[in-house]
Structure 1
Amino acid sequence: MPELPSTDADLDRPPTDQDLARLQLTTLLYYLHETNPDNGLVRDKTEPNAPASIAAIGMALATLPVIVERSVVIRKFAAKIARKRLRYLLECPQGPEADASGYKGFFYHFLDIETGRRVWQCELSTIDSAFLFAGALTVATYFDLDSPEEAEIRDLATTLYERADWQWACNGDVSLTHGWRPETGFIPHRWHGYDEALLLYILGLGSPTHPLQRESYSAYTATYEWKKIYGRELLYSGPLFTHQLSHMWVDFRGIRDDFMRQRDSDYFQNSRQATFVQQEYAIRNPMGFAGYGKYCWGFTACDGPGWITRTVGGVERQFFDYTARGAPFGPDDGTVAPWVVIASLPFAPEIVVPTIRNFARMNLGMTRLYGFKPSFNQSYAMDDSPTGWWVTPCHFGIDQGPVVLMIENYRTGLLWNIMRRCTPIVAGLRRAGFSGGWLHQASDPDRRP
C-alpha cells in the first residue's frame, strides 16, 4: 500500500503510480470477494446476510475493464464474469408482483443475493438502476472483439438497457420519479436540483426505445441552485458524492450544456470547486467537530455512529446513522468519509493527495482488505475502538466503485475513453444540449453500442 508519511512535509509528496495501483487493487477486491459466484450478484455491504445492491452490481461491471487492463484477471475470464452477471439479470423476473426483481426494465434497490428477488419491500429505484445500466453499457462498449463471446456481452447489455421504460418512470410528467413500489405506486419525489441524477437523465435521453422527452432535462436543470460559497461560484449540491458519480462514466471536461455555457463553466470544473468548498468547510469547522482540518474532510452519504444524542466537551451533539451529509450547509455530525475524498482525485489532486496521506496515518485500514474504512467520527469516542473513536465496521459496495474508477480515470482516463464510444451516452449528451470538446468528434449516435 502507499507508504505512510512520516512528516507533514511528506503529505504533499506526489503519489507514485505504484501507490495508486496498490490502493486501487485492494479496493476493487471487494467485487471479487463479495460476489455470489453462482449468479454474479454483489453484496451491498460486508455485513452478514446483506442483500445484493443493484448499484454495486453496476459498479462491479464497470470495474471489469480496469481488472483486465491492470492484469488482475485476463480478458477471457473477465468477459465470462460479465456474461454471467448480465444473463442472470435478464433472467430475473420482471413484473408488478411484490416479489419480482424489477418492473418496466428497472430493478429494485436491493435483491436477495441467492434468489435475485426483492427484499425489505424496498423501492424500484431509478437511480440505482441507472448505475446498473451504466455498468452494463461499459462492458458492452469495452468488449468489442469480433467473437461470439464478446458479441453476447454486447447483446445482453443492450437488451438490459433498452427494455427500461423511461417514459413510464416519469409518471405522466416530464421529470423522472425516484421510483415505484407495488404496494403504493410511484414515490412522491422527483429528480430535481443538481445531484447524481445527471447520469440518470443522460441515460434516459439516450435510450433508442423508450427515451425521455428533451424537456425532461430542461425540467431538471431549471431547479439548479447556483451559489457563491467561500468566494467560489458553483452549482450547489451538498454531499460530495453527487459531484462524482456521473463523472465515473462521463468525461465532462470541456463539454457544456446550456446551463454551464451561460456560466462559462463545465461540470468537471464545478466538481473541482465543490471539492475545495468541502476542504474549506473543514478548515473553518463552524460546529467545532474533532479532527476537521486542511487534510481531514469529506462529507457525503455514508454510515455513521447511529441516531444518538451525546454530550461531547460540554456540547450536546446529535449523531446520525447512514445519511447524506453535506457541506457547508449540512447535515454534519463529525463523520468523515475517506472514499469520497479519493473519488475527487481527478478534480483536485493537489488537495486530495495530502488528505489521503493524512488518512493513511490514522489507522483506518488502508493496508488491509478493501482499503480505507468508508467513514469515521473522531467526535464519537469509543473505548473498544483501536483508534479511540468510531470507525464504521463495514465496507459498502457503492463506496468501492468510485475509488477504483476515479483512480483509473486519474491515471489513464480509461472509463472516460471507453464511454466516449458509447452510443447511448453520446446520444443522451447531445439530446441534453451538450456540445464542444470531445463530443464534437464523437461517433454517430444512431449506431448501436
Structure 2
Amino acid sequence: MSSRKPIGEAELERLQNQSFSYFLHETNPVNGLVIDKTAADWPASIAATGFALAAYPVAVERGFMRRAVAVERTLTTLRFFWNSPQGPEPDATGYQGFYYHFLDMRSGRRAWQCELSTIDTAFLLAGALTAGVYFGADTADEYEIRTLADQLYRRADFQWAQNGAATLTHGWKPESGFLKYRWQGYDEAMLLYILGLGSPAHPLPESCYRAWISTYQWEHSYGYECLYAGPLFTHQLSHLWIDFRGIRDAFMRVKGIDYFENSRRATYVQQHYAIENPHKFAGYSRHCWGITASDGPGFDTIKLSGIERQFFGYLGRGVPYGPDDGTIAPWAVVTSLPFAPEIVLPTIDYFINQVKLTELNPYGFKATFNPTYPVESSSPCGWVSPWHYGLNQGPIVLMIENYRTGLLWRLTRDCPYIVKGLQRAGFGGGWFGLSQPPVTDF
C-alpha cells in the first residue's frame, strides 16, 4: 500500500486552475465562442461555450479571473447568441432557439454541415442560466446578463424538438429535417428534459419525461444495481448543474435510491471493470480507470503479443459492454469526484504523480492516453492524445468546485426554471424541503 499522503486541496485547485485556463486562451474575445479542441482551424463547440459560461463564476470565486472580466466575457457571449442569425438557412447559427453543434470560430455560422443539437444547446442554455443567477448585482451589465440569459432560454422551442412524438429528437438539419435518433435510455439528456419541462414559453408536457424514463435499462454489474449507460460522462454531465442528492422521481422512488447514488455506483463499476480488466489492456488497475466518449489513437487493427487489437479514434467507449480499446480519459475520473472521492482522489494522485499526466501540459490533463497502443516511448502513458478538448476541461472545473463548495448546485437551486422542471418531472424530497442542503466538506 502506498504511504503517499492523499492528494490535497492545493493540488486540486492547481488542476482546476490549469483546466480553466483553456477558456482563458481558447476563446474568441470578439464573440465568446470556445474552440472544441486545440487543433488548427477547428470550430467552436456550443457545449464547450456553455461550460465556459458556467465556469466563469467559479473562476471569480477562486480568484482565477476578476469579476469585471468575467462580466465582459459573459456579456460578449450572450450578446452574440442573442443577435446571431436564427432561421432555416443552412449557414445560420441556430433555428427555433436551438444552435448548431459546431460553429465557425470567427463568423459564428454553422460549421461542417453539422446538426442543430438539442443536447449541446441544453449545455449552452444551462451555462447561460448559471450566469443569470450568479451575476445578480444591480448594475447595467449584470442586469443585461440576466435579461439575455432569460431571453435565450425562452426562445428555445422544446415542443418543436419533439417532432410530434413523445420523446425529444437528437437534432435537425436544414438539408434533411429531424435526425432519426431520439433521446431514449438513461444518459446526459436528463438536463435537456428538465430544461424543457421548466420552459416558461415552450414547455414539454410531463408525458414527455415519463416516456423517456420508460426506456431506462436497469442492470446488475460488478455487484452494483444501477441504470445502464456505458460511457462514464453520461452519468455526470447533468450533475454538473443539478444536485440530485436526496431528490427522487417516480423511477428512483421505486428503486430506493437517487440519481447521485446511481452515479456513485456507476463510478465503482468503472473501477471494478478496470481491476478485472477482461481484455487485458496495459495499465488498467484500481488507480487507472475512466472509460467514456473520448479521443483515441485512431482506427487501426494491430496484432500485439499474439492478440489482435482493434483501436479507435474519437468514440463513445463504455463499460461493461464496450467498445473498449485500452484508452483512459482522466477528465472523466475527475468529474466523478463528488460521487466517490474515496476512489477518485487516489486515481487523480496516480495520474498526476505517478504517470505525470500534467507535465508540460498547459491545461492540466491531456484528453486521453492508451498504454496498450504501440508507440516509441518509455512513458507508462503510451499513446497520449495531442489535443485538449473544451468538453473535458469544463466538467473538471465544475465538478471540482461542486465537490469543494457545491457552488454550481447552489446556483441552480436558485434558478426557478430548473426547480420547476424538476418538480414537473416528479422530483420530490431532499433539498426541495430544505433551505440549506448539506454540501460536501473538503
Unaligned runs of 5+ in 2: 437-442
- Which residue of 2 is the match for residue 431 of structure 1? 424
Alignment-derived partner of residue 312 in structure 1: 304
Cα displacement (A) at 1:384: 5.8
Matches within 5 A, 1:404-419: 404-419=397-412
Tell me the alpha carbon deviations over residues 312-364 of structure 1, each in whole angstroms, 9 at most, x when there is no partner.
11100110110111111111010010000011000001100111111122132
Task: Please identify, of 228-237 and 425-434, the stretch whose mean Cα deviation from structure 2 is larger.
Answer: 228-237
How far apart, CA to CA, are the structure 2 residues paired with 1:421 and 1:321?
Answer: 40
SS of alignment partner, residue 81 of structure 1:
helix
Quick check: 1:395 aligned with 2:388?
yes
Query: Aligned residue for 2:147?
Result: 155
- AA at the equivalent of 1:170: Q
TM-score using structure 1 length = 0.95
Q: Which residue number corresponds to residue 44 of structure 1?
A: 36
Which runs of structure 2 are paired with 1:244-263 in the superposition (5 Å)? 244-263=236-255
Secondary structure of the 2:373 match is: strand
Q: What whole-Å deviation, never above 9, does each CA across 1:420-447 have from its counterpart, x for those lacking one?
A: 001111010000000111123479xxxx
Q: CA deviation at 1:288?
A: 0.8
State the Cα distance separating 1:8 from its structure 2 match. 2.5
Q: Which residue of 2 aligns with 1:119?
A: 111
Contact 1:60 / 1:401 at 8 angstroms: preserved in 2? yes
Q: In the TM superposition, what is the alpha-carbon distance from 1:15 to its structure 2 partner?
A: 2.7
Q: Percent identity?
A: 60
Does residue 280 of structure 2 align to residue 288 of structure 1?
A: yes
Residue 325 (1) aligns with residue 317 (2):
yes
Q: CA deviation at 1:365?
A: 2.7
Query: Could you report, residue by residue, the CA deviation over 1:272-325 in whole angstroms, capped at 9, with x for unpaired residues?
Result: 000000000000001111111111100000000111000111100110110111
| Residue 390 of structure 2 is aligned to residue 374 of structure 1 | no
User: Tell me, what secondary structure is at the counterpart of 1:316?
Assistant: strand
Distance (Å, rounded) in 2 between the aligned partners of 1:329 and 1:241: 15
C-alpha distance in structure 2 between counterparts of 1:388 and 1:203, whole Å: 39
**SS at the partner of 2:370?**
strand
Find the partner of 1:186 among 171, 178, 193: 178
1:85 aligned onto 2:77: yes
Task: State which drifts further: 248-257 or 72-81.
Answer: 72-81
Residue 227 of structure 1: SS of its match in structure 2? strand
Q: Does 1:422 align with 2:392?
A: no
**TM-score, length-scaled by structure 2:** 0.96
1:209 CA displacement:
0.1
CA distance in 2, matches of 1:368, 1:99: 35
After superposition, residues 18-417 of structure 1 pair within 5 angstroms as 18-360=10-352, 361-366=354-359, 368-383=361-376, 389-417=382-410
Q: Structure 1: 5+ residue runs without aligned partners?
A: 1-6, 444-449
Moved over 3 A (4+): 384-388
Aligned residue for 1:335, secondary structure, equals: coil
Residues 1:442 and 1:192: Cα distance change in structure 2 (over 3 Å):
farther
8 Å Cα contact 1:385/1:391 also seen in 2? no
SS in 2 for 1:332: coil
Shift of 1:385: 7.8
Specify the SS of the correspondent of 1:38.
coil
2:308 match: secondary structure: strand
Corresponding residue SS for 2:372: strand
Contact 1:54 1:109 in 2 (8 A): yes
Match of 1:9 in 2: 3
The number of aligned residues is 435
